[in-house]
Structure 1
Amino acid sequence: MNMRDDDIRTIVIETLAEQQKLQKSVDAIVLKAVVSVLAAFGIEDDDRKEVRADLQHLRRWRKGIEQAQSYTFKAVITVIVTGVAGAVLLGIKVMLSK
């Protein structure tokens, strides 16, 4: 059975059209699910800008806390090293004065 080019072209066009319809319906279902989940969390479609701003603020807050923890760790290490060095120097001074 030989198919003509026009028949093949028609089948391909129909298949692509069917696939496009299915993709549109999948997109609609996914969008509806996402909106439903966000609504369950109390986030309405109109609140999108505010939610984005809130998340950006939380990210800045988290990064600031991480930076403060890093500085705190460095300060603690510095205090410990300085204390040990001071104790060693004091010990040497006491031994030399005997």
Structure 2
Amino acid sequence: MNFSRGNRIFFDSTGKILWQTGEIWESTLPVQHEEIKGEIRYVDLEVNYYDSLKQYIASINPETKEPVFEYFSEPEPSKEQLKINQLEEDILLLQTDAQVGGIL
């Protein structure tokens, strides 16, 4: 069974769109919009406040308005990447061997 969910659009009092959830179609799991509880708040972060390639914002502490970060897990290297790393090490060893004239 496939599930879908329509787009939820957040906007200000002038009608300007602030954020959209986007549509989900043909999901294998039911995905509903969550009910919004209380007021909607925001926090502004400076550019480069965090390294988005290494971590992501998991939530915002509602009392301090500070972001709570979690780190992305390191992906396991593929067989191809492991082989490339080994070949690079072998090349360095051969270059060093050629420079110093072999094992004495």
Which structure is higher in strand share?
A: 2
- Fold-level match, TM-score > 0.5? no
* TM-score normalised per structure 2: 0.24
- How does the TM-score come out when normalised to structure 1? 0.25
Q: Which has the higher helix share?
A: 1
Instruction: Answer with 1 or 2: which has the greater Rg.
Output: 1
Where relative contact order (Cα < 8 A, 6+ residues apart) is larger, the structure is 2
